[in-house]
Amino acid sequence: MTYCVAMGLEHGLVFAADSRTNAGVDQIATYRKLHKFEVAGERVVVILSAGNLATTQSVISLLNMRLGSDQPNLHGMSCMYDVASVVGSTCREVIMRDSGQNQGSVDFGSSFIVGGQIQGEAPRLFLVYPEGNFIESTPDTPYFQIGETKYGKPILDRVVDYSLPLKDAAKCALISLDSTIRSNLSVGLPLDVLLYEKDSLCLNNHHNVTENDMHFLALGEAWSQGLREAFSCLPDMQW
């Protein structure tokens, strides 16, 4: 399991993902879930992945292998809608290939968050389902989650809106991840956090958050302390 969150905001995009993969309590490994595709000054694409690790790795490998080929690829699409369509069709291709090999009850499903900007259009953000179809974020619904979503959702619902500054959105994403890490052992450090400023067409604001990151530790403790203080101020119920 993993947890990824992304936001499509007025001033750009924010992506955050953990990197833990486990197949039981004694089989824990680290695999990056944030993948970047960039043609500097022309297009940027970021993909977050969750689900069956073999499926997600195959999808990302095929997307990389097909760059510059005659097949539909991320560098050849003229808009982000078509980029999301390529990711969806590649996911569907891999699942159909692997699920037809009599592997019993194996769940090959994977989901992706695809975001970025191609010169000539605004930044866009999509959620791609295992079936290959997808939906796009809107100002009314500016964020998507995949993976272990429930623990980190409350703060997103309370804080995130379309006008939220990127730095505040990144802080919100980190607290969402911290809340999930505290409640679910299948989600863990290190974290990938990427802020994309609208029309910059470069992916140079990418941060690796480890267990030794004092800023992340301080953020999590401040959030916990704030919750405790808010709880202590709640009015008593008259039973």
The two tokens of residue 5 are 């969150």
* Interatomic CA distance for residues 36 and 228, integer angstroms: 38
> Are 209 and 220 within 8 A, CB to CB?
no
| Predicted structure pTM score | 0.95
Q: Is 43 helix (H, G, I), strand (E, B) or coil?
A: strand
User: pLDDT tens track of the chain, all 239 residues?
Assistant: 799 999 999 999 999 999 987 645 666 788 999 999 999 999 999 999 999 999 999 999 999 999 999 999 999 999 999 999 999 999 999 999 988 766 667 888 999 999 999 999 999 999 999 999 999 999 999 999 999 999 999 999 999 999 999 999 999 999 999 999 999 988 999 999 999 999 999 999 999 999 999 999 999 999 999 999 999 999 999 99
Residue 50: its H or E element: strand 43-51
Q: How far is CA 224 from CA 180, 187, 212, 228, 231, in A?
A: 13, 18, 18, 6, 11
Which residue is it, tokens 């505040």? 168
* Interatomic CA distance for residues 67 and 72, integer angstroms: 8
| Cross-strand bridge partners of residue 117 | 44
* Interatomic CA distance for residues 132 and 127, integer angstroms: 10
Residue 133: its H or E element: none
* Interatomic CA distance for residues 17 and 34, integer angstroms: 7
* Interatomic CA distance for residues 32 and 76, integer angstroms: 25
